[in-house]
Amino acid sequence: MSLLSRSFTRPQFFARPQSFARRCVARLSFARLLVLTLASLVVALPAHAFETHARAAWVYDMTTDTVLLEKNADVALPPASMSKLMTVNMLFEALKDGRVSMETQFPVSSRAKAMGGSTMFLNERDRPTVADLIKGIIVLSGNDACVVVAEGLAGTEHAFAAQMSERARAIGMTNSSFANASGWPDPGQRMSMHDLGVLSVRLIREFPDLYRNFAITEFPYDDRAPDNRHNRNPLLKLGIGADGLKTGHTEEAGYGLVGSAVQGNRRIVFVISGLESEVARAQEAEALVNWAFRQFVLKQVASKGTKLAEAPVWLGDANTVGLVTAEDLSLLLPALGADGVRAEAVFSGPIEAPITEGQELGELVINVPDMAERRVPLLAQTAVEKGGFTVRIKTALGQVAARALASLGS
């Protein structure tokens, strides 16, 4: 039931007057909210904030759970080799579950050996380890390595692709389907930029140790592919905090990149697709990283347990109750547009006792210029018990007097 439409059944004599039960708004100055805290707010900026040349894009600040840019982000598009991230996720999950270890060896089938495009140059005599295959997929973008993993985990690549699609839905990727493990062009191989971002965030958060493989710049597997030993991610050597994730390119998809970078206490994840060349992809990716870190500042706005406002209490042993947030809160603001931030505590008052500590009573509504409104639950700072006999008698007499005055006025 909505906080602003909650109703109560109570004796008529002690009924909260309808003229008093109303939507209450307490405006808070932004200065009052600037306290030493840190947490998360979900905020979405308009797509025109950065004029990207990509066909589709998604940029996300992990530190504050803030979407900075969206362009065709939920459109299912050919992902090319960026879909190898899902193959990597499946392998990471198998490692976490103990189904395989880093030393586990997989056979190489004739089908895997025959894969074209970027490869590890595996053959049927090889028995690559899981550790080798992880680097072979991430650093070398090996199509053969993807088939080896698919067949090693699921028996066939077809069965593995079906498992990928099912797993994608389970972890919240709503616009993804898979026909193969490598991203080889296929009408059934589709992912949205948003889904690729969700997957990347998962790889970073769920597998922090394994994620370090994405920062490897070179993997000379058995010295078989000297021209293919370098990581294709153009950002890794620029000194801008980039540490992953994966490039992709086909004629249909154009040039794309899923990337992540850390500067200070912030991490961003971004996905771009549909660029016209490697150079354009590298330039667009670097520009997006610079924009995301230079055009926004992190402001600490509310501390867990700090009273932001007070709400009146009906028939309680206290007349008011403090309103607080459940967690510390921080807000990402445009660097040149932090002025004009408004915050309001909104609740339906007066609030009937008893009230338990931590009970949700209202919302903190934050409005930042050119950004979406953010609503954060407000909780009771302390418990408020029902008032005793004296409180109830005073309340009843107050109602009688109010009704008498209203009658005389009419």
DSSP calls for 35-81: -S-------B--GGGS---SSEEEEEETTTTEEEEEESTTS-B--GG
Does 267 share its domain with 348?
no
Least confident of 36-40, 247-251, 284-288, 345-349: 36-40
Does 252 share its domain with 159?
yes
Question: What is the rounded average pLDDT of the residues 193-222?
Answer: 97
Render pLDDT for 166-204 as a digit per residue (tens, 0 to 9). 999 999 999 999 999 999 999 999 999 999 999 999 999
List Cβ neighbours of 68 (8 Å cut-off, separation of 6 or more): 45, 49, 50, 59, 60, 61, 268, 292, 296, 332
pLDDT for 404 beyond 90: no
Does 63 share its domain with 185?
yes
Does 280 share its domain with 314?
no
Nearest alpha-carbon partner for 318 in 390, 392, 386 = 386
Question: What is the rounded average pLDDT of the residues 24-29?
Answer: 62
Say if 5 falls within a structural domain: no
Say if 42 falls within a structural domain: no
Say if 355 falls within a structural domain: yes
Does 86 share its domain with 196?
yes
Domain CATH code at residue 400: 2.60.410.10
| pTM of this structure | 0.78
Q: Which residues constitute the domain of residue 374?
A: 12-32+308-325+334-409
Domain CATH code at residue 121: 3.40.710.10
Does 244 share its domain with 136?
yes
Say if 362 falls within a structural domain: yes
Does 115 share its domain with 136?
yes
Does 231 share its domain with 159?
yes
The phi and psi torsions of 108 (rounded to 5 degrees) equal -110, 120
Question: What is the rounded average pLDDT of the residues 343-359?
Answer: 90
What is the crossing angle of helices 157-170 and 84-97, to 10°? 80
pLDDT for the residue numbered 405: 64
- What pairing do the DSSP bridges indicate for beta strands 296-302 and 309-314? unpaired
Mean pLDDT of the chain: 86
Say if 18 falls within a structural domain: yes
Does 26 share its domain with 79?
no
Q: E strand or H helix at 348, and its extent?
A: strand 342-349
Residue 11's identity, in one-letter code, is P
Number of domains in the chain: 2
Render pLDDT for 251-308 as a digit per residue (tens, 0 to 9). 999 999 999 999 999 999 999 999 999 999 999 999 999 999 999 888 878 889 999 9
pLDDT for 161 beyond 90: yes
Binned at pLDDT 50, 70 and 90, residue 368 comes out as confident
Classify residue 94 by burial, with Cβ atoms within 10 Å: 0-12, 13-18, 19+: middle
Does 82 share its domain with 180?
yes
Say if 303 falls within a structural domain: no
Give the integer Cα–Cα distance in Å for 147 and 92.
16
Does 281 share its domain with 177?
yes
Say if 2 falls within a structural domain: no
pLDDT for 386 beyond 90: no
pLDDT for 40 beyond 60: no
Does 341 share its domain with 279?
no
